[in-house]
Amino acid sequence: MMTMNNDSGESISLWMDTASIPLTKTLEENLRTDVCIVGAGISGLTTAYLLLLEGKSVVVLDDGPVAGGESGRTTAHLVNSLDYNFTELEEMHGEKGAMLAADSHSTAIQRIESIVKNERIDCDFIRLDGYLFPGPGEDPDYMIREQDAAHRAGLPGVVKLDRAPLISFNTGPCLKFPNQAQFHPMKYYAGLVKSILERGGKIFTNTPVTSVEGGKNAKVKTAANFVISTSSIVMATNTPVNDLFAIHTKQAAYRSYVIGALIPRGSVTRGLYWDTADPFHYIRLENVQGGKTKNDILIIGGEDHKTGQDDDPTARFDCLEQWARERFPMILEIKYRWSGQVMEPVDKLAFIGRNPADADNVFVITGHSGNGMTYGTIGGILVTDLICGRKNKWEELYNPSRISLKATGTFLKENLNVAAQYADWLSGEDEKNAAHIKPGSGALMQKGISKIAVYRDNEGKLFTFSAACPHLGCVVNWNDTEKSWDCPCHGSRFSATGKVMNGPAISNLKPADS
Ligand SMILES: Cc1cc2nc3c(=O)[nH]c(=O)nc-3n(C[C@H](O)[C@H](O)[C@H](O)COP(=O)(O)OP(=O)(O)OC[C@H]3O[C@@H](n4cnc5c(N)ncnc54)[C@H](O)[C@@H]3O)c2cc1C
Ligand code: FES
């Protein structure tokens, strides 16, 4: 039996619509295992698979379905040309750091390729070239500087071209990154799940984890009060749900938007494309129905903003569509619109390794920005090495306890932004009269000195919650695209009816009258 994967909002991605995952059960007993992994996205599944190859016993727990988080909402570019370009990485982490980063992502693509081959996963994996082109007003010398930095980072094949191979618009001078890759992510996870289960790994879904304790008697507890006793714990929950502060002051949650447009096959040259705009656009193709139709889906993403800090997220799709139609006039129809959440680390690299201020046997994989397909895989490789007591050359680079003084400016900017969100307690309400809230919609209202989050379902029933995010008390905001309550401070998200969907919060919104 297979299942549809969505636990992070209302929108449906192309991947959720065109593949499914083998059905898994909910945990109904206490268990003992070598490693307990929380989160069944690409990070958790890859870690589970690689640990099984090492002979470890593994239990994976997820509060929703497999890949119901951001792994189902990705666009699945597999690249060593990262969201933070090599000029930025070199400035922040030095030449050696940029080189190790490039090496880790190249290795991750190779590892995905070998897993696909060894496990015979039919997931449309292909190698293809990527093109970085200038956004409006970009410094004409930028591409030369970035090419030099990419070469210093150990990517000598990066070349400058007069334009990317797109017929419908002239990108201007661009950089070609050879030998990148793409796949159908949901088909890949389906293959990983099958391999994990065949090797004796256990995956339990609809099993929320409510507490995690490292040390000699490490254990993971679930909402239904079952306990996993374990030697090591891996938090692969996109953002850690076991920390109040440690990592959350060092990364920020952003929403990103994607449209999938039907285009005649062959009208856009196959490749991966990104510009240098801020926020940037990212583009790839998907060959629908195994090439049996005359069309492809052109996948275009961008329009990122801080989670919970946009009054009209739905308008982001319109901006994206306008941008796309101006450049790709062959678009026939928009078939998909979805959004998702990316975690942006202040010093531009992911946090993978031992969880700060925790016992030595609690590990975390987070801070992926828009490169989580490869970071999730790097996470699997690195954490497996640490659990098996092996040295790993990327350990220091991705150490979650690192403090990068050069990132102080971004750190202060992001945390002042968080502090400013508490002023929402003093600002006005969205709606004075609950009767004005449309079916399928939500709004903030004032109740005495407090704020409440009010949702009216499609049948007209009202649901009311305290608007205080259970993580650290910021006021949640209504997201009409995903029909969710989003916290502007560290990106926790709750369903329309108050169920926690994204950490760091680990509990639901409280009822208004509690
Ligand atoms: C629009 C968009 C486009 C992107 N494009 C790309 C791209 O082109 N290339 C790329 O490399 N990356 C891309 N990314 C980033 C990438 O998709 C993510 O970084 C990656 O999927 C994160 O994987 P993960 O396994 O760490 O987290 P997730 O996939 O979010 O998995 C975490 C899991 O933990 C579970 N969980 C959370 N809390 C609990 C709890 N308390 N108990 C139990 N389970 C819990 C969740 O339900 C979820 O299933 C994109 C992301 C977005 C949103
Ligand atoms: S996510 Fe931290 S206060 Fe809401």
User: What DSSP string runs through 62-121?
Assistant: -SSSTT-SGGGS---EE-SS-SS-HHHHHHHHHHHHHHHHHHHHHHHHHHHHHHHHHTT-
- pLDDT tens column, 431-479: 778 889 999 999 998 888 788 999 999 999 999 999 999 998 999 999 9
Atom of ligand 1 nearest to the CA of 71: 21
pLDDT of 5 over the 60 cut: no
Helices (H), 199-231: none
Radius of gyration for the chain, computed over Cα atoms and rounded to the nearest angstrom? 22
Q: What is the pLDDT of residue 312?
A: 85
Q: Is 492 in the pocket of ligand 2 (CB under 6 A)?
A: yes
pLDDT of 118 over the 80 cut: yes
pLDDT band at residue 406 under the 50/70/90 scheme? confident
Considering only 95-109, 125-139, 447-461, which range has the smallest mean pLDDT? Answer: 447-461
Nearest residue by C-alpha to atom 3 in ligand 2? 472
Stated pTM of the model: 0.95
pLDDT band at residue 16 under the 50/70/90 scheme? very high
- pLDDT tens column, 189-221: 999 999 999 999 999 999 999 999 999 999 999
pLDDT of 2 over the 50 cut: no
Q: Is 373 in the pocket of ligand 1 (CB under 6 A)?
A: yes
Q: How far is the CA of 198 from the centre of ligand 1 (A)?
A: 24
pLDDT band at residue 1 under the 50/70/90 scheme? very low
Q: How far is the CA of 197 from the centre of ligand 1 (A)?
A: 21
Q: Is 75 in the pocket of ligand 1 (CB under 6 A)?
A: yes
The stretch 364-383 carries a mean pLDDT of 97
Q: What is the pLDDT of residue 405?
A: 78
The stretch 70-95 carries a mean pLDDT of 96
Name which residue leads in pLDDT, 512 or 229: 229
Nearest residue by C-alpha to atom 31 in ligand 1? 41
pLDDT band at residue 423 under the 50/70/90 scheme? confident
Q: Is 372 in the pocket of ligand 1 (CB under 6 A)?
A: yes
In whole angstroms, give the CA distance from residue 358 to residue 354. Answer: 8
Q: What is the pLDDT of residue 147?
A: 98
**Share in percent of the chain as helix, strand, coil (round to 5):** 25, 30, 45
* For the CA of 254, the nearest ligand: 1
Of residues 168, 47, 61, 56, the one with CA closest to residue 111: 47
Q: What is the pLDDT of residue 3?
A: 46
pLDDT band at residue 246 under the 50/70/90 scheme? confident
Q: How far is the CA of 427 from the centre of ligand 2 (A)?
A: 18
Q: Is 222 in the pocket of ligand 2 (CB under 6 A)?
A: no
Q: Which residue of 258, 284, 299, 342 sits with most ligand 1 atoms within 8 Å of its CB, as the best mutation to test the pocket?
A: 342
* For the CA of 245, the nearest ligand: 2
Q: How far is the CA of 492 from the centre of ligand 2 (A)?
A: 6
pLDDT band at residue 262 under the 50/70/90 scheme? very high
Q: Is 504 in the pocket of ligand 2 (CB under 6 A)?
A: yes
- pLDDT tens column, 140-158: 899 999 999 999 999 999 9
